[in-house]
Amino acid sequence: MAGMAKPAKKTEKPAYRRGPATPDSPPDVSAGMDELNLGRLTLNSAQKTVPPEMRRWEKNILTPDGRPVVVVCAVEEGEVVPHGLDNDFMVGLINLCFEAGVPNGPFTTTGYAILKAAGLPDSAQYYRAMQASLRRLSKAKYSVDEAWYRHQGRAGEWLSQEFSQISYLAVRRSSTGLSARSVIVVQLGVPIVESLRAGYIKPLDLDFYRSLSQPLVRALYRQLDALHFDETTENGLVKEVTAPLLGWAVRLGLFSDRPDNILRSLQPAHDELLNRGYLGQVEHDGRGRQRTIRYVFAGPPRTDHPELAALLTQQGVKEGMALRLSATFPERIEDALRKFKHYLGTARKPVGNPAGLLVAMIKSPEQYDGFLDIPSPPSSGLPPKTPQVEEAETQAPERYLERLDPSERQAWALKQLGLLGIMKHLTVAERALLGEALSRGAADASTLVKQATAASFSGAAGVLEYVDELRRALSTHP
């Protein structure tokens, strides 16, 4: 086996050694985010430059579940495919979208804010680069064949998508081009926004990302960091990534089919990630076009909230998911844990997948606002509730429902039952009966949702049992 550059000794390479804050690398919060599909697919070539006539590329890659898929990028005459700094600007826009609250429509920002979010210097050179990059990101059209993962609750599906990374762009600039005060209105592509809102994201150490020296180093780090997370493994993380060298070059958007040239291009990036302590080892094996490359991570991804991640792993949540949740929703975790432990202590039936329930409570807290008031005896280890505590726990969802008119209350209940997996088991006729029962007050929206939520905590068997009970009730009281 031919080894790449040896990593430094452990005493010489602290994990994630960051560069100093400088005017060229503006200080900012380190707890950034990245959308997992974008991180894995590398829609922007990692090359610093590409041939000016390059208007299309097509690549065949493997999804995390091992399926071969095709990704195509195409631009119109006179344009060029995204590359180089476009990765940095896209990372910046994703995090600005988070700061704006992941709106359904466009959000407004400034030229300076985008440069700062991308970690690039505040200079005329980079404002010109930003102007060209925003144009490329809005003009390039992507076709993704069953390679875009849509995350839904505890499950998901692989979809085919056609989109641009920027779906709407409006720029107010002076005659000299973009500047710090330029007002920029931008909307990310619909699949990207939907994925962000669904929580299909991972932490990205922005300080570390921004401190890396070249676009190729940053693109390689972003790709590896996305592949580091894998929910199919025992702890939600992989310790290493191995790939055919030619396939790896295709994934990164390196337009060469000569193994020696590819390794020569990657060598500086390998050295930097080894010396900075992100990678523990890089190796390549084989000869010619059969050569493979292997990356070994130096340790788990960083988190700014290790104590919150530890609280989640103590409840059986996989380490990878715990890191993602602690970075994405740090403000939700303690409240979710309190509700989670309360439910475990008061549930009538054992919870089939406690860790899955906790993850769902953190990702979608609005779906679990009313479940604490399900009548059930307290566990022997819990002190008796005071009237004030009981009232606070039981009245919050009722107060919300009291503000709704009957049609809104019916719509709310049907939506919640759909999210809980109840509606898909009912026939069209049964759904009509349920809607009618809700509209005339024969069925109580709050009670139905509480009962369905309790049933869902017992897994598929609990859901089916509840569906049978609901059918009997609908047939008895048509």
User: Mind listing the pLDDT tens digit for each residue in 427-455?
Assistant: 767 777 888 888 788 888 888 888 887 77
Tell whether the torsion through CA atoms of 126, 128, 134 and 140 is positive or negative. Answer: negative
Residues 347 and 454 reside in one and the same domain: yes
| Whether the Cβ atoms of residue 149 and residue 74 lie closer than 8 Å to each other | no
Give me the pLDDT at residue 376, please.
Answer: 38
**Is the same domain home to 181 and 318?**
no
321 within a domain of the structure (yes/no): yes
Domain enclosing residue 206, as ranges: 28-238
Residue 227 and residue 38: Cα distance in Å, rounded? 11
Q: What's the confidence (pLDDT) of residue 27?
A: 32
From the list 97, 53, 47, the residue with the least C-alpha distance to 77 is 53
Residue 318 is predicted with a pLDDT of 94
Given a cut of 90, is residue 344 above it in pLDDT? no
Average pLDDT of every residue of the chain = 82
Give the end of a domain, one of 183, 206, 238: 238
419 — pLDDT class (breaks 50, 70, 90) = low
Q: Are residues 123 and 229 in the same domain?
A: yes
In a domain, 256, yes or no: no
Say how many Å lie between the first and final Cα of the chain, rounded.
Answer: 73
Residues 337 and 226 in one domain: no
**Mean pLDDT (whole number) for 27-34:** 61
Residue 205 in domain:
yes
Interacting residues of 227 by C-beta distance below 8 A, sequence separation 6+: 40, 64, 238, 241
What are the tens digits of pLDDT across the range 239-281?
999 999 999 999 999 999 999 999 999 999 999 999 999 999 9
| Segment 56-77, tens digit of pLDDT | 999 999 888 788 999 999 999 9
Q: Please tell me whether residues 333 and 200 are part of one structural domain.
A: no
Say yes or no: 366 and 232 in one domain: no
What pLDDT, on the 0 to 100 scale, is given for residue 24? 37
Give the residue-averaged pLDDT of 19-28: 35
| Nearest in space to 97 (alpha carbons), one of 86, 108, 112 | 108
Q: 84 by DSSP, 3-state: which?
A: coil
Residues 6+ apart with CB under 8 A from 450: 370, 371, 373, 374
CB distance 212 to 272 below 8 Å: yes
- The predicted pLDDT at position 394 comes to 35
Give domain status of residue 297, yes or no: no
Does 32 share its domain with 177?
A: yes
Stated pTM of the model: 0.70
Q: What is the pLDDT of residues 180-217, one digit of tens each?
A: 989 999 999 999 999 998 888 888 999 999 999 999 99
Per-residue confidence band for 51, with pLDDT thresholds at 50, 70 and 90: very high
Give residue 6's pLDDT band: very low, low, confident or very high (50, 70, 90). very low
Is 284 contained in some domain? no
Give the pLDDT score at 17.
Answer: 43
Same domain, 361 and 454: yes
User: Does residue 7 sit within a domain?
Assistant: no
β-strand pairing of 68-74 with 56-62: antiparallel
Number of domains in the chain: 2
What amino acid occupies position 142? Y
Give percent above pLDDT 70 in the chain: 83
Q: Is residue 1 part of a domain?
A: no
Tell which wins on pLDDT, 473 or 314. Answer: 314
Could you give the CA distance from residue 317 to residue 355 in angstroms, rounded to a whole number? 5
pLDDT for 369? 66
| Same-domain status, 360 and 224 | no
pLDDT tens digits, 115-154: 999 999 999 999 999 999 999 999 999 999 999 998 765 5
In this prediction, residue 48 has a pLDDT band, given cuts at 50, 70 and 90, of very high
Q: Looking at the predicted structure, is the pLDDT value of residue 23 above 60?
A: no
Higher model confidence: residue 176 or residue 317?
317
- β-strand 292-297 against 279-285: which pairing, if any? antiparallel
> What pLDDT is recorded for position 371?
56
Residue where one domain finishes, among candidates 219, 238, 257: 238
Single residue among 190, 207, 238 that ends a domain in this structure = 238
**367-370 long-range contacts, CB within 8 A, separation 24+:** 367/416, 367/419, 367/420, 367/453, 368/339, 368/453, 369/396, 369/397, 369/400, 370/396, 370/397, 370/446, 370/449, 370/450, 370/453
Rounded Cα distance, 43 and 48, in Å: 14
Same domain, 323 and 187: no
Task: Check whether residue 51 and residue 140 sit in a common domain.
Answer: yes
Residue 19 in domain: no
Q: Residues 226, 345: one domain?
A: no
Dig out the tokens for 194 from the structure: 């939907």
Is pLDDT above 60 for 1? Answer: no
